[in-house]
Amino acid sequence: MFQARLAGKLNLKEVERSVDRLIQDVSKETLKVAKANTPIRSGRARKAWTNTSKGPGLFEVQNSVPYIEQLEKGRSKQAPRGITKPTVRTITGDIKNRRLTR
């Protein structure tokens, strides 16, 4: 859930820019955390993470190595809880603690 509190005069363009920056920051941080949570053997899976804009306010972080599902299921001793759940937990906590700046 996204909550915002506005005081004073409302400058819609400024709010839109702040939200866009927040989404870009979350997108970059999600990619960074997913890479950090990916176990390393050859480094191929870690390098394969990509971040794609899907339109205003939308992004997708994905990995196309054929064995990413096995890593996600916890087949690696380095990441027994997978990659996605720990990444989402980290990012969700970061979003809750962030404030929009003027």
What is the extent of the structural domain holding 45? Answer: 12-97
Q: Please check whether residue 102 lies inside any domain of the structure.
A: no
What pLDDT does 62 receive?
94
Check pLDDT > 60 for residue 99.
no
Average pLDDT, the chain: 84
32: Cα within 13 Å, side-chain hemisphere? 9
**Cross-strand bridge partners of residue 62:** 50
Inside any domain, residue 2: no
More confident residue, 33 or 57: 33
Q: Is 66 a member of any domain? A: yes
| Structural domain total, the chain | 1
Contact 86, 64 (CB under 8 A): no
Tokens 């866009």: give the residue: 20
Q: Does the residue 79 lie in any domain?
A: yes
Query: Three-state secondary structure along the chain?
Result: CCCCCCCCCCCHHHHHHHHHHHHHHHHHHHHHHHHHHCCCCCCHHHHCEEEEECCCCCEEEEECCCCHHHHHCCCCCCCCCCCHHHHHHHHHHHHHHCCCCC
Any domain includes 3: no
For residue 70, being part of any structural domain is answered with yes
Weakest mean pLDDT among 10-19, 24-33, 68-77, 89-98: 89-98
pTM above 0.85, yes or no: no
**pLDDT band at 94; cut points 50, 70, 90:** low
What does the pLDDT look like over 47-86, one tens digit per residue? 999 999 888 888 999 999 999 999 998 888 888 888 989 9
Inside any domain, residue 1: no
